[in-house]
Amino acid sequence: MHLVYPVVLSALLFCTGVYGVLARRNAILVLMSVELMLNAVNLNLVAFDAWLSRAARAGFPHDGLHSGQALTLFTIAIAAAEIGIGLAIVLAVYRNRGTADIDRLRDTAEDGGGSADTGAGRDDGAGTDDATATATGTGEKAEASA
Amino acid sequence: MTDALDVTLRLLAVFAAFLVLPLVVGQTEHKVMAHMQGRLGPMYAGGFHGWAQLVADGVKFAQKEDVVPAGADRRVFQLAPAVALLPYLLVLLVIPLGPGDAVGQAIDAGVFFALAVMGVGVLGSLMAGWASANKYSLLGGLRTAAQLLAYELPMLLAAASVAMAAGTVSLTGIAGAFEWWWLPWQIVGAVVFFVAGLAELQRPPFDMPVADSEIIFGAYTEYTGLRFAFFLLAEYAGIVVLCGLTTVLFLGGWHGPFGGDGLGWFWTLLKTAALAFVVIWLRVTYPRLREDQLQKLSWTFLVPLALAQIALTGVVKVVIP
Amino acid sequence: MSHGFLSPTGVEVTFLLVGVVTLGAAVVSVTTRQLVHAALWLVVALGGLAVEYLLLTAEFIAWVQVLIYVGSVVVLLLFGLMLTRAPIGRSPDADSGNRGVALGVAVAAAVALVWLVVDAFRTTWIELDGASAGTTEVTGESLFRHWVLPFEALSVLLLAALVGAIVLSRKRNADVDAASSGKAGAARPAGPSTRTAAGAKAAGRAAAGRAAARPGEQGAADAASGDAGRRAEGGER
């Protein structure tokens, strides 16, 4: 098989993940896009490992390292750990704020924080938005965590 | 015979077994449960002690109206039973009946493939629970998923222990390498695997997420007719698969006191049937575990036991080459 | 020997078809407004990738992909979505306002990467015949012969993730919860040390390596389910 096929597919999947990370507002959808990017990298590693471990026949030095496959396994394990922690964080944030919307998590923004509006994410008003968000949030939270 | 014909015949044979064996288990469950509870069970359908009861049930389910709740997500709702059922068919393909090539498809990554594919069945329950637009279904679906995830780990660890003992993950290889003294050696792993498998199937006493006195029917509440029948078929097919896997991994598969290799299939089926009987027996014997007791059992009891079994296997393998 | 692009082998054709399905599912996953559908299309994409791994003869990694990604990661994502009240049907706030910019960046990155890669590897050919380099045996041997140290470091990392997820999911006002999760947490660290004590044959070591990948995401599932279980009990009474 031409190496080009898996590598191009990997590049396209990676860019799909990049679009997802930039365009999505829900925190869990962002995590999903990150998973897509990690999988694209895995495909790349596996393809190169398949090429290099066979290339030994053509005279390339090969010492049974299978680094591509080993690194893929490590990446899969790390991705699993990351998604565990990521989801724990998202759920903790949801419990506290009532929303999983990353545009509204602006506590560390420079003008004193407060939630963003919809649309372009301008910084306006701090207190009232937060209060209503948390008030409706607590109502939703009890049902949500069940 | 040619390759293509061979593969087709094997697939057909496995598919036939997939349809017949769960029905046999189901009918046995009716009768065994009944007699253990001091009653008779089905007696009417088919004339002789109600042998055709499940066939009649199948006809009944097939002629029911296909109802999708108004607020439900149609496509996901309709796909969920297939996602829950197919993994068991795929696993049945790799369970060996006898030595040599008495198996649907011999896959090198045998036990690993089987457990990986069984893990996909969780998605079916989650899809069903969420798509039903019903609070109890969602709650049941979440509980089911939590339970199935929790009990995958002891199953994997126990299977890893016996794979270590055999030196291969191929199911045919493991059953072939079986020695009689493996039975006491791996007994802890066998018990862990069987109990964890029961919880994977949501069979009593682990049926909290689907018990009707708890949560109607959990994730499958809104299902009627043929889709409901598929979920039930998935449960009984799962029993067949679990007993088959336990037999091949821990009880020696086709090894038996007499008959050599020719009668291997008979011993496999006999052991599988005995384990199915134990599954049915457990249903009528124990009260069900509460959800938190269930989780505690898996994480704080079964996982350390399985790890201890792996340690024991490793030590014996190294000390006695 | 030269292999033309205009006469693809059977494997290449299969790879292309599955690749189209995978890419399509990935695109739908990042653009659909129905949250749970996005997760389910992600399942299709990850499954497609598992098939691609099989075509590249990396069987062990294919089954690890199915086991961990499809069987656990996606289930966790669905948990997360359902616990944050994903609605049936379209969700109005699934996409932020940066979609145009994001599309521009993604397309630019795609063009740059694909151009570079095709230019560099235009004539490279993977020889897929012969002994598979991706069986459990081969992978297990290389993992436990050359990669033991990173493997053990990985198990420590997974332990850290496990503990972290549990600590993050505990409720503030439940000191009782703290006590019980402390006990539960204490039982688990025994895991990695007993596993390292078990030095064994190749296939089994590979299987244990895959088992090492489990505790990480199981921690969050346990935390989420523990919460769900407690809330459910409270809700029903």
Q: What is the ipTM of this complex?
A: 0.89
> Distance between CA atoms of B204 and B95, rounded to whole angstroms?
25
Is B119 close to C225, i.e. CB distance below 8 A? no
pLDDT over threshold 60, residue C236:
no
> Distance between CA atoms of C147 and C126, rounded to whole angstroms?
24
A109 inside 8 A of chain C by CB: no
Is C23 close to A13, i.e. CB distance below 8 A? yes
What pLDDT shows up at residue A144?
A: 44
Segment A12-32, tens digit of pLDDT? 999 999 999 999 999 999 999
Would you say C140 and C148 are in contact if contact means Cβ atoms under 8 Å apart? no
Can you give B298-319 as a three-state secondary structure string?
Answer: HHHHHHHHHHHHHHHHHHHHHH
* Mean pLDDT value across residues B209-213: 82
Q: Which residues contact C7 (CB under 8 A, 6 or more apart)?
A: none
Closest partner CB to B119 (pick from C67, C187, C228): C67
Residue B167, judged by CB atoms within 10 A of its CB (0-12, 13-18, 19+), counts as middle
CA-nearest of B148, A119, B166, B79 to C99 is A119
Would you say B45 and B52 are in contact if contact means Cβ atoms under 8 Å apart? yes
Residue appearing with tokens 């694909």:
C114
Is C138 close to A143, i.e. CB distance below 8 A? no
C28 and C142 belong to one structural domain:
no
List all chains that touch chain C, counting a touch as 3 or more CB pairs closer than 8 Å. A, B
CA-nearest of B156, B136, A141 to C236 is B136
Using the Cα atoms of residue A79, residue A81, residue A87 and residue A93 in order, give the sign of their dihedral.
Answer: negative
Is B138 close to C82, i.e. CB distance below 8 A? yes
* Mean pLDDT value across residues B253-267: 81
C11 inside 8 A of chain B by CB: no
Interface with C, mutate which of A10, A14, A16, A138 (most C CBs under 10 A): A16
C119 and C182 belong to one structural domain:
no
> Distance between CA atoms of C147 and A64, rounded to whole angstroms?
11
Q: How far apart are the first and last CA of chain A?
A: 50
A118 inside 8 A of chain C by CB: yes
Q: Look over chain B and give the mean of its residue pLDDT values, rounded to a whole number.
A: 90
Would you say C68 and C213 are in contact if contact means Cβ atoms under 8 Å apart? yes
Interface list for B 65-84 with C (CB within 8 A): 71-73, 76
With a pLDDT cut of 70, the percent of chain B lying above it is 99
Nearest CA in chain C to B133: C88
pLDDT over threshold 60, residue B109:
yes
pLDDT over threshold 80, residue B159:
yes
Measured between beta carbons, the chain A residues lying within 8 angstroms of C126 are 1-3, 47, 50-51, 54
Would you say A86 and C162 are in contact if contact means Cβ atoms under 8 Å apart? no
C99 and C200 belong to one structural domain:
no
CATH (domain of C78): 1.20.120.1200
Measured between beta carbons, the chain A residues lying within 8 angstroms of C9 are 1
C152 and C122 belong to one structural domain:
no
Nearest CA in chain A to C70: A80
Closest partner CB to A4 (pick from C95, C118, C162): C118
> 10 Å Cβ neighbour count for A70?
21
**Domain residues of chain A, as ranges?**
1-97, 99-146
C5 and C106 belong to one structural domain:
yes
**Domain residues of chain B, as ranges?**
3-319
Interface with C, mutate which of A51, A91, A97, A118 (most C CBs under 10 A): A91
> Distance between CA atoms of B243 and C33, rounded to whole angstroms?
42
What pLDDT shows up at residue C174?
A: 53
Q: Which residues contact B86 (CB under 8 A, 6 or more apart)?
A: none
Q: Which of A47-51, B201-205, C15-19, C205-209 has the highest mean pLDDT?
A: C15-19
Would you say A29 and C77 are in contact if contact means Cβ atoms under 8 Å apart? no
Interface with A, mutate which of C12, C18, C61, C98 (most A CBs under 10 A): C61
pLDDT over threshold 60, residue C237:
no
Helix (H, G, I), strand (E, B) or coil at C154: helix
Domain carrying residue C196 = 135-237
Segment B30-89, tens digit of pLDDT? 999 999 999 988 888 888 888 889 999 999 999 998 889 988 888 999 999 999 999 999
What pLDDT shows up at residue B274?
A: 95
Q: Which residue pairs, CB below 8 angstroms and at least 24 apart, start in C11-20?
A: C11/A1, C11/C55, C11/C128, C12/A1, C12/A2, C12/A5, C14/C55, C15/A1, C15/A5, C15/A6, C15/C52, C15/C55, C16/A5, C18/C48, C18/C51, C18/C52, C18/C55, C19/A5, C19/A9, C19/C48, C19/C52
pLDDT over threshold 80, residue B234:
yes
A49 inside 8 A of chain C by CB: yes
Helix (H, G, I), strand (E, B) or coil at B66: coil
Would you say B44 and B50 are in contact if contact means Cβ atoms under 8 Å apart? yes
> 10 Å Cβ neighbour count for B11?
14
Question: How many CB pairs below 8 A link A and C?
Answer: 302
Confidence of residue B265 (pLDDT cuts 50, 70, 90): confident
pLDDT over threshold 60, residue C126:
yes
pLDDT over threshold 60, residue C176:
no
* Mean pLDDT value across residues B15-30: 93
| Domain A1-97: CATH class, spelled out | mainly alpha
DSSP string, B135-154: HHHHHHHHHHHHHHHHHHHH
Would you say B302 and B196 are in contact if contact means Cβ atoms under 8 Å apart? yes
Nearest CA in chain C to B156: C211
Is C199 close to B314, i.e. CB distance below 8 A? yes
pLDDT over threshold 50, residue C207:
no
Closest partner CB to B300 (pick from C64, C187, C226): C187
Question: Mind telling me how many Å the CA of B264 is from chain C's nearest CA?
Answer: 26
pLDDT over threshold 90, residue C37:
yes
> Distance between CA atoms of A52 and C142, rounded to whole angstroms?
15
Nearest CA in chain C to B292: C229
- For the entire predicted model, the pTM comes to 0.83
> 10 Å Cβ neighbour count for C21?
15
Q: Which residue pairs, CB below 8 angstroms and at least 24 apart, start in B5-9?
A: B7/B105
Instruction: For residue A21, list its beta bridge partners.
Output: none
Q: How many residues does chain A have?
A: 146
Confidence of residue C229 (pLDDT cuts 50, 70, 90): very low
B146 inside 8 A of chain C by CB: yes
C123 and C157 belong to one structural domain:
no
What pLDDT shows up at residue C177?
A: 47
A40 token code pair: 């694209």
Q: Look over chain C and give the mean of its residue pLDDT values, rounded to a whole number.
A: 76
Is A2 close to C12, i.e. CB distance below 8 A? yes
C8 and C119 belong to one structural domain:
yes
Closest partner CB to C226 (pick from B145, B164, B295): B295
* Mean pLDDT value across residues C92-118: 91
List all chains that touch chain A, counting a touch as 3 or more CB pairs closer than 8 Å. C
**Longest distance between any two alpha carbons in chain A, whole Å:** 70
With a pLDDT cut of 70, the percent of chain C lying above it is 71
What pLDDT shows up at residue B3?
A: 85
A110 token code pair: 């420079």
Segment A100-146, tens digit of pLDDT? 788 877 777 666 555 444 434 444 444 444 444 444 444 444 444 44
Measured between beta carbons, the chain C residues lying within 8 angstroms of B292 are 226, 229-230, 233
C222 and C190 belong to one structural domain:
yes
User: Domain tally for chain C?
Assistant: 2
Would you say B146 and C225 are in contact if contact means Cβ atoms under 8 Å apart? yes
pLDDT over threshold 80, residue A77:
yes
What pLDDT shows up at residue B299?
A: 92
Confidence of residue B257 (pLDDT cuts 50, 70, 90): confident
Measured between beta carbons, the chain B residues lying within 8 angstroms of C82 are 126, 130, 138, 141-142
Using the Cα atoms of residue C76, residue C81, residue C82 and residue C84 in order, give the sign of their dihedral.
Answer: positive
C138 inside 8 A of chain B by CB: no
A127 inside 8 A of chain C by CB: no
Segment B116-150, tens digit of pLDDT? 999 999 999 999 999 988 888 898 999 999 999 99
C84 and C113 belong to one structural domain:
yes
